[in-house]
Amino acid sequence: MSRPFLKMNGLGNDFVVVETRSAPFAPTAEQVRAIADRTSGVGCDQLIVIEAAPGVDARARFWNADGDEVSACGNGTRCVGWLLMQSSGKDEAVIETAAGRLIATRAGERLVSVDMGEPGLDWREIPLSREEDTRALGVVLYDHADLMAPPGCVSMGNPHVVFFVPDAESVPIARIGPVVERHPLFPQHVNAGFAQIVGRDRIRLRVWERGAGLTKACGTGACAALVAAARRDLTDRAATLVLDGGELFIEWRDDDHVVMTGPAAVDYVGELP
C-alpha cells in the first residue's frame, strides 16, 4: 500500500513528512535510510512522522537520514507547526516530541515561531561522558588551528557542540564534522556548529548534523549557537543566525526559553511505495 507524504523544507533543511493520525506508520531504520537516500529514494535530511496524541494537536517523531530516531529537530518542528495551523485554522499548535512539549505560533506569511523550551547546560544534560564546563570545554576535540578556542556545549533536546571560528567559510567541516560527531566525550554523538560572530546581533553558522552530515540549516543548532555565544558574552541574547540556507531569528528570553523564528515551505506531494 502506498502512503502519501509531503516534501517540506526549512531554509533548505529538507524533510519527508508523513501524516499517520489515521493509519499508523512505524518505519524501520532500513526503511528510513531508503526514503532518505537521494539517489534511489525520495531524499531528505530527516523523516518526520505526525501522530495523534492526547492533550496536544499532534505528536512529532524525527529520524535522521542514517535511520536513527532523534528527540528534536527545530526546522522540522516549524514545518509540523505550520501544517497543523493550516489544518486547524488556528494561530498556535502544541506539539509533543521526545524532547518535550513545544508550542508553534504564526509569525507572518509562512513564518513560524517555535518555543523550544529551556536549553540544557549541565554536562549530564548534553550528555557528556564526564564532567566538563559546558560554557568552555577543557578538552581538544580536533586539532585544527581555527578550533583552538574552547567550544561550548548546549542541549536543545539533542546534543550540540559550538566552535567559535574567525571564518566559518574556510573551516573544513566535511573533514572535522565526522570526527567531532563521534568523539568519545559524546556518548550519543553530537551536532557540531561552527559559528563566526559577525556582531552582537548576528552570527554566521554552519552545522555538521549527526546522522545527516553538512546541512543547509539546523534549527536546534542555531538555538544552541546563540545560547553558547550569549553565555560567553560574545553576543546579546537575541540575534539573527545566517545559515547556508537562509536566516533564523533566535531569542533566549529572560524566562530562559529559546524561541526560534523562520520560514516553512512545502515543496511537493508524493507517495511512498
Clarify whether 73 is annotated catalytic.
yes
From residue 17, how far is each of 46, 63, 108, 161 by CA, in Å?
A: 9, 11, 22, 27
Domain presence at residue 62: yes
What residues form DSSP beta bridges with 196? 204
E strand or H helix that includes residue 153? strand 152-155
State whether 101 and 157 are in the same domain: no
Residue 273 has pLDDT above 90, yes or no: no
110 in the same domain as 191:
no
Domains in the chain, number = 2
Domain boundaries, position 223: 145-256
Query: 84 and 25 in one domain?
Result: yes
Residues 110, 165: one domain?
no
CATH number of the domain enclosing 30: 3.10.310.10
Residues 109 and 161 in one domain: no
Residue 220 and residue 268 in one domain: no
Catalytic residue among 44, 73, 79, 153: 73
Read off the pTM: 0.93
| Span 132-185, pLDDT tens digits | 999 999 999 999 999 989 999 999 999 999 999 999 999 999 999 999 999 999
Domain-located, residue 244: yes
111 plus 217 within the same structural domain: no
Listed in sequence order, the residues at least 6 apart from 76 whose beta carbon sits closer than 8 Å to its beta carbon are 10, 13, 15, 46, 48, 60, 62, 219
Alpha helices, DSSP H, located in the chain = 29-36, 74-88, 173-181, 219-231
Q: Are residues 13 and 110 in the same domain?
A: yes
Catalytic pick from 44, 79, 218, 223?
Answer: 218
Query: Do 11 and 73 belong to one domain?
Result: yes
| DSSP designation for 182 | T
Q: What is the pLDDT of residues 43-84, one digit of tens each?
A: 999 999 999 999 999 999 999 999 999 998 999 999 999 999
Both 176 and 218 in one domain: the answer is: yes
Let me know whether 80 and 168 are in one domain.
no
- Is the residue at 88 inside a domain? yes
Alpha-carbon dihedral angle through residues 256, 90, 216, 145, given to the nearest 10 degrees: 0
Residue 89 lies in a domain: yes
- Note if 153 is an active site residue: no
Proportion of the chain above pLDDT 70, given as a percent: 100
